[in-house]
Amino acid sequence: MISETQSTVLTDEQRKLSAVVREFADQVVAPAAYRYDTERRLPLEIIAQMGELGLFGLPFPTDVGGQGKDYVSLCLAVEALARVDQSIAVTLEAGVGLGIMPIFRHGTEEQKRRWLPDLLAGRALAAFGLTEADAGSDAGATRTTARLEPGAGPDGAGEWVIDGSKQFITNSGTPITSVVTVTAVTGERTDAGGVTRKELSSFLVPSGTPGFTVEPSYDKVGWHTSDTHPLTLDGVRVPASNLLGERGRGYANFLRALDEGRIAFAALATGAAQGCLEEALRYAKEREVFGHAIGSNQHIAFMLARMQARVHSARLCWLDAALKQTRGLPFKAEASVAKLVGGEAAMANARDASQIFGGYGFLNANPVARHYRDSKILEVGEGTTEVQLMIIARDLGLTTGLAS
């Protein structure tokens, strides 16, 4: 649902896109959501249709096979999908922001030619392997290593040998996953201040590479349709040419992608909050107790009013951050504010919607019950609430006692 505030800043093309994706979500995604949630599998036929709609290519230029739109457009699509199914929405969000964007931004022309056509068309998915058991927001704790063996490989150009493991990697084990970008320690570097830190680089690891194991999927509380796995890399060999971007820039190159991901994550959370509001409002108008609709009770009406306020605030936050991103303005703090506000809005609206539905809100067939299970991760994924507070505090100049 497009708010009046959005209508004043969005282009006609963006409003049309939002309406098209909303219709697709209502007619195609929503009817199948419960079935795929119980089956715990990603519906590839729906992903294919999303590809046909051009959703995976939205923020990329047409000369590489994209749709030539902007990041606001991607967020609008993510929000529209998340109203009815967060798993489908995060498949798009992660597939674009963490899967395709690093290759588009930092890949060589050869890497782009090899991977982008299928990824942008939704015929394939890519993943980003950063998180480990002891390393996520603290990328300096990364233990996965990569060493270069000069002269190795069929062409004699050398090979990288990667060893380690990754956790919580979205889109990493689907039947159409073609490549995973993996960060690894490739040595040490000493900065101008004399401080020595791990040198992190990133590598493109094709699915099916010997030694690269996609472990069994997690038994998650929510996001049952989303594909999420731990990964093991045991002597994985990739050509020297599979280094993505400059050596030693593996983490730095992804800082912008991570910040952008928080904006899209906030849009996803806003969609979830909106979906809860729509379901609860419909039920409050239909459900009668003691001869009148429960929505006429002031307590229920005020709950719904607060839900609307949360949606409106969350939407304004992600839209502000996304507009700054598209205009080339700094947006790091705004992205964290959006992610913080959106995640809390989704969780609060899911709780209130479930309460309004009463016993029906405890049934998994009910969309608000799935939102209740799904929404908790929105306060954790793409950086926890505490990490967002840390970033916002730093932006206020409050750095004492905060991790560097």
Catalytic residue, candidates 93, 260, 278, 382 = 382
Give the span between the Cα atoms of 225 and 120, in whole angstroms. Answer: 21
Q: How far is CA 311 from CA 212, 273, 316, in A?
A: 42, 6, 9
HSE at residue 263, side-chain half, CA atoms within 13 A, is 31
Q: Is 23 a catalytic residue?
A: no
Residue 234's identity, in one-letter code, is: D
Give the span between the Cα atoms of 323 and 316, in whole angstroms. Answer: 10
How would you classify the pairing of strands 288-289 and 228-239?
unpaired
Question: What's the sign of the alpha-carbon dihedral 388, 182, 223, 51?
Answer: positive
Exposed, middle or buried by CB within 10 Å (0-12, 13-18, 19+), for 129?
Answer: buried
Give the span between the Cα atoms of 161 and 156, in whole angstroms. Answer: 14
CA angle 194, 257, 378 (to 5 degrees): 110
Helical pair 367-375 and 86-94, crossing angle rounded to 10 deg: 40
Give the span between the Cα atoms of 244 and 188, in whole angstroms. Answer: 18
Q: Among candidates 272, 170, 275, 278, which has minimal Cα distance to 230? A: 170
Exposed, middle or buried by CB within 10 Å (0-12, 13-18, 19+), for 27?
Answer: exposed
Q: Among candidates 25, 16, 314, 49, which has minimal Cα distance to 33? A: 25
Q: Torsion angle, CA of 69/75/77/82, rounded to 10 degrees? A: 170
SS3 221: coil
Give the span between the Cα atoms of 402 and 73, in whole angstroms. Answer: 35
Distance of CA 122 to the CA centre of its chain: 16
Q: Mind telling me the catalytic residues?
A: 382
